[in-house]
């Protein structure tokens, strides 16, 4: 494994947060490993690294566009796929075979979706991860060898629980940091706190918008009456964090004038998060970062100059 390959892998880690910096990637990887071990699922960190490695290797072997490979653009979707599979499916040898298959296919799907999105000049974001992981988890319900534990039993949509949570400053701060951590499917506030400096290295705007996305999504979800324990777990904020970074600090030149527009995107991401929660309930798969993907695409398209 050459230094160049390792560099592409670390950049791939940072690409989850739409950054392109190997040092930033190293910090994020450390944060994720901490969170995985703390949650007693160390296999999640291993799954992430295996996915990242397999994806980057597949893109290299198949001679996908080399600049994109070097910048980690074929690494972050397989990374998230590997992470999700090792969290949602039980730790068995067959799960690892399934994970490697998923990482390879996710890399091909990244390329395929990029070919379609080129027409409208949109980035793939984390959609290849979402699509691949949905298919892998839905399929696992049919295979005894994989025994999908899933995110709970499939169910028809139902209203929020009547949880009575005491809202304190510490509670909210932990929830906001978990919003950042849940981008990696981990509900660990230390992981979230460690990711912030990784963003500060590359862009103060990115770090600022990430925190703003977490704060705003938390209050919007609570204000609409979402289940407070779900909000506190970071499950209403992780897509909103990514929407804020994407619309605020990545695809457009960051400025204060863009703040209202970014906040509207964050608010709508909370709505789409809840909507997908209802829509996916009957088939028993989680929304993953689909709300971030859909809202970012829609908002980016709505800014186009007329032809």
Binding site residues, a copy of itself, CB under 8 A: 65, 94, 98, 101, 104-105, 108-109, 111-113, 115-116, 118-120, 134-136, 138-147, 154-160, 162, 223-227, 264, 267-268, 271-279, 281-284, 297-302, 304, 306-307
Alpha-helical runs (H) found in 161-203: 169-181, 189-202
Please say which residue, 9 or 267, places its beta carbon nearer to a copy of itself. Answer: 267
Q: Looking at beta carbons only, is 23 or 279 nearer to a copy of itself?
A: 279
Q: Which residues of 178-200 are buried (b: 16+ CB within 10 A; e: fewer)?
A: bbbbbbbbbbbbbbbbbbbebbe
In the complex, minimum distance from the CB of residue 174 to a copy of itself, in angstroms, rounded to a whole number: 22
Residue 279 and residue 26: Cα distance in Å, rounded?
Answer: 36
Integer CA distances (angstroms), 272 to 51, 79, 81, 123, 219, in order: 27, 24, 21, 19, 16
Beta carbon nearer to a copy of itself, 37 or 301: 301
CB of 83 to a copy of itself, least distance (A): 18
CB of 103 to a copy of itself, least distance (A): 12
What is the rounded distance in angstroms from the CA atom of residue 55 to the CA atom of residue 127?
15
Return the number of the residue (3 or 305) whose C-beta is nearest a copy of itself.
305
Q: Which is nearer to a copy of itself, 23 or 155 (CB)?
A: 155
CB of 13 to a copy of itself, least distance (A): 23
For residue 206, the minimal CB distance to a copy of itself (Å) is: 23
Contact 106, 77 (CB under 8 A): yes
Query: What is the CB neighbour count within 10 angstroms for residue 237?
Result: 35
* Nearer Cβ to a copy of itself (25/51): 51
How many residues in the chain?
307
Minimum distance, C-beta of residue 97 to a copy of itself, in the bound complex (Å): 9
| CB of 159 or CB of 169, closer to a copy of itself | 159
Report H helices in 39-168.
42-61, 66-70, 76-88, 93-117, 127-140
Least CB distance from residue 86 to a copy of itself, whole Å?
17
Token pair in block for residue 191: 């992981």
- Residue 218: count other Cβ atoms within 10 Å of its Cβ: 26
Nearer to a copy of itself, 40 or 166 (CB): 166
Q: Which pair of tokens denotes residue 60?
A: 């290299």
**Cα(281)–Cα(303) distance, rounded to whole angstroms?**
32
Identify the burial level of 55 via C-beta atoms within 10 angstroms of its C-beta, where 0-12 means exposed, 13-18 middle and 19 or more buried: buried
- Give me the least distance between CB of 32 and a copy of itself, in Å please: 26
Report the alpha-carbon distance of residue 125 to residue 284 in Å, rounded.
23
């Amino acid at each position: 494994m050459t230094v160049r390959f390792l560099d592409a892998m670390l950049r791939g880690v940072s690409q989850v947060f739409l950054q392109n910096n190997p040092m930033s990637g190293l910090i994020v990887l450390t944060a994720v490993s901490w969170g995985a071990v703390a949650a007693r699922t160390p296999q999640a960190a291993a799954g992430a690294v295996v996915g990242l490695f397999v994806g980057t290797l597949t893109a290299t072997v198949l001679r996908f566009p080399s600049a994109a490979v070097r910048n980690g653009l074929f690494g972050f979707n397989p990374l998230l796929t590997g992470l999700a599979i090792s969290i949602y499916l039980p730790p068995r040898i067959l799960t690892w075979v399934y994970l490697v298959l998923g990482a390879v296919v996710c890399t091909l799907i990244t390329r395929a979706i990029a070919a379609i999105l080129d027409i409208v000049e949109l980035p793939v974001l984390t959609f290849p991860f979402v699509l691949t992981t949905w298919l892998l988890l839905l399929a696992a319900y049919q295979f005894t060898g994989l025994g999908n534990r899933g995110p709970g039993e499939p169910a028809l949509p139902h209203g929020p629980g009547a949880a009575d949570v005491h809202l304190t400053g510490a509670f909210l701060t932990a929830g906001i940091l978990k919003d950042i951590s849940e981008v990696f499917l981990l509900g660990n506030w230390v992981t979230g706190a460690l990711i912030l400096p990784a963003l500060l290295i590359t862009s103060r705007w990115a770090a600022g918008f990430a925190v703003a996305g977490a704060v705003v999504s938390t209050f919007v979800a609570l204000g609409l009456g979402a289940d407070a324990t779900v909000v506190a777990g970071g499950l209403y904020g992780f897509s909103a964090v990514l929407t804020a970074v994407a619309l605020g600090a990545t695809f457009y030149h960051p400025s204060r004038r863009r703040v209202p527009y970014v906040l509207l995107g964050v608010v709508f991401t909370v709505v789409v998060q809840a909507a997908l929660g209802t829509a996916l309930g009957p088939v028993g798969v989680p929304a993953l970062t689909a709300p971030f993907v859909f809202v970012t695409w829609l908002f980016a398209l709505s800014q186009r100059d007329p032809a």
